[in-house]
Amino acid sequence: MKKVEAIIKPFKLDDVREALAEIGITGMTVVEVKGFGRQKGHTELYRGAEYMVDFLPKVKIEVVIKEELVEQTVDVIVDIARTGKIGDGKIFVTDVERVIRIRTGEENEEAV
């Protein structure tokens, strides 16, 4: 099993969620996060004063899936979340050694 974590722009969340549901991904975790990459934040004007916004709002989506679904999942996220502008985000794919459903004690693929 693999965990796919995608950090995307917040306004793309609903579209990505719907597209993942269409390929059979039924569960995910979504967290509002703040961060920056190469874009290093931006400046904003507030009451006539300019200030630096270092951390930009993003959304992190986490899904744990069978290895066979990884490429399709990544492709869907890239296709839907891409705006072509700086700050579109990142996707991380990592191994998952074990999953346990707390309620039933089911493990691994049965728990997902």
Q: What is the CATH number of the domain that holds 43?
A: 3.30.70.120
Domain count, the chain: 1
Q: How many CB atoms lie within 10 A of CB 15?
A: 13
Domain limits for position 73:
2-110
Predicted pLDDT of residue 56: 83
Q: Do 95 and 47 meet the contact criterion of CB atoms below 8 Å apart? A: no
Q: What percent of the chain has pLDDT over 70?
A: 88
Average pLDDT over residues 79-91: 92
The pLDDT value recorded for residue 45 is: 62
Contact 111, 100 (CB under 8 A): yes
Q: What pTM was estimated for this model as a whole?
A: 0.84
H or E stretch covering 81: helix 70-81
Could you read off the pLDDT of 39-64 as tens digits, one per residue? 665 565 667 776 666 778 899 999 99
> How many other C-beta atoms lie within 10 A of the C-beta of residue 28?
16
- What integer pLDDT is reported at residue 55 of this predicted model? 77
In this structure, the number of other CB atoms found within 10 A of the CB of residue 40 comes to 10
DSSP 8-state code for residue 107: B
